[in-house]
Amino acid sequence: MRAALAILLLLGLAACGSTRQAGLPSGAAVSEPVSCVPYARARSGIQLSGDAWTWWDAAAGRYARSRAPQPGSVLVLNRTARMRDGHVAVVSQVVGRREILVDHANWASGAARGRIATAQRVVDVSPANDWSLVRVWYTRIGDFGTTAFPARGFVHPRVELAAAR
């Protein structure tokens, strides 16, 4: 409960990378959609802003980046024709070499749009096994979608490179 309250406070204080407003925790009634950017910033502590797809380049020289998921890292999905702002999600658990669980906001559509979802499966479907192409779980259909999303990689919160200099 205290963690949920802390996230709500941080979301309210966070500068948003889009015009969408911060909202309520998972399962609560949502009157305004929660954007993935302020949610990921609050959950990870990574102080980046702008559209989700810009986080990879914005992290260069400030945070460590890699193709290897770690708990607490932010997965950055590139923008596509269907997802013009990209998407960011926080890794909550590494399940295996090609599967992780993420917490993220505003992934669903319809009535679930803007909600926070936790422990959602993401699988690496890239030919090189390098997390450059992923499929994301859709709770509404109880399966992975048919779309594979291009991923830039993972931004790691623990190493802020500018502070280490």
Domain ranges of the chain: 2-164
Distance CA 46, CA 83 (A): 22
Helix or strand run (H / E) with residue 90 = strand 87-96
- Answer yes or no: is pLDDT of 151 > 60: yes
CATH code that applies to domain 2-164: 3.90.1720.10
Strands 116-124 and 143-144: unpaired
Which one is predicted more confidently, 6 or 135? 135
Strands 74-77 and 63-66: unpaired
Cα 64–chain centre separation = 16
Name the residue among 96, 156, 153 with its Cα closest to residue 130: 153
In the chain, the percentage of residues whose pLDDT exceeds 90 is 64
Question: Per residue in 136-147, pLDDT tens?
Answer: 998 888 999 889
- Answer yes or no: is pLDDT of 154 > 70: yes
In the chain, the percentage of residues whose pLDDT exceeds 70 is 76
Q: How high is the pLDDT of residue 145?
A: 84
DSSP 30-76: -SSPPPHHHHHHHHH-----S-GGGHHHHHTTTEEEESS--TT-EEE
Question: Per residue in 70-127, pLDDT tens?
Answer: 999 999 999 999 899 999 999 999 999 999 999 999 998 777 888 999 999 999 999 9
